[in-house]
Amino acid sequence: MPTLSVATSGLTRRFGPVIAVDGLELSVPAGCVYGFLGPNGAGKTTTIRLLLGLVRPHAGSVELFGQPLAGNERFLLRRVGALVEVPSLYPNLTGWENMEVTRRLVGASEAQIGWALHTVRLEDVAGRRVGGYSSGMKQRLGLGLALLNSPDLLILDEPTNGLDPAGIHEMRDLLRRLPETHGVTVFLSSHLLAEVEQVASHIGILQAGRLRFQGTLEELNARMSEQVVVGVGQPDQARHLLS
């Protein structure tokens, strides 16, 4: 059985009468890119907040690196980097200065700034104010901030949202390289299968808070090729046209 970076058991979270996450059983192998796929409102962001300890579950549990998150948040989350929604940046500061602010907060070494900027390919523009960065550059800087503490697990919520085609290509390339070059497990959410299958080796599909599929990309492709189900509003007319 592979070592798991993330495992959940019966994970459930409600908001009033709405069950946002319903009995979730995630298994994220170490060293993979795990694409967490689902439509808007499926519960992806709530799941990410549960994994990061930002909200508490009403039932179930989260394990990171084989240890329960509950009671071990400070220790375990030091090994996690995250980019949830739009990165929080100071537009009047340079890229380097933004990194320096976060470096001091997380207690990383100054050498980590250079490494992170090199990893996200921003070292040549680190002296420029972030307000002049493109959306893709800002997103990559946000990823660099998440890498400052040399995490073993990187959690990203819709990392290509709002990017132009060039920015999407740059982000894809970065995410593909991280497990191989730095040994980082990447957990990323998206509502686009075409986007996820470009980078992910493993897939989880969430719908209405429930996990509908979990496995490798190859297993998903094999299942999708088995059958195609078409729903029509007027079955009798469709049957006549096809006969």
- What's the pTM value of the predicted model, to 2 decimals? 0.86
Q: Are 153 and 187 in contact (CB under 8 A)?
A: yes
The DSSP secondary structure of the chain, one letter per residue, reads: ---EEEEEEEEEEEETTEEEEEEE--EEETT-EEEEE--TTSSHHHHHHHHTTSS--SEEEEEETTEESTT-HHHHHTTEEEEESS----TTSBHHHHHHHHHHHHT--THHHHHHHHHTT-GGGTTSBGGGS-HHHHHHHHHHHHHTT--SEEEEESTTTT--HHHHHHHHHHHHHHHHHH--EEEEEES-HHHHTTT-SEEEEEETTEEEEEEEHHHHHHHHHH------S-HHHHHHHH-
Give the domains, in start order, of the chain with CATH numbers.
4-79+151-242 (3.40.50.300)
Q: Are 41 and 16 in contact (CB under 8 A)?
A: no
**Span 63-112, pLDDT tens digits:** 999 999 999 999 999 999 999 877 889 999 999 999 999 999 988 999 99
Looking at the predicted structure, is the pLDDT value of residue 33 above 60? yes
Q: What is the pLDDT of residue 174?
A: 87
> How confident is the prediction for the chain on average, in pLDDT?
91
**Span 226-241, pLDDT tens digits:** 655 566 677 776 666 5
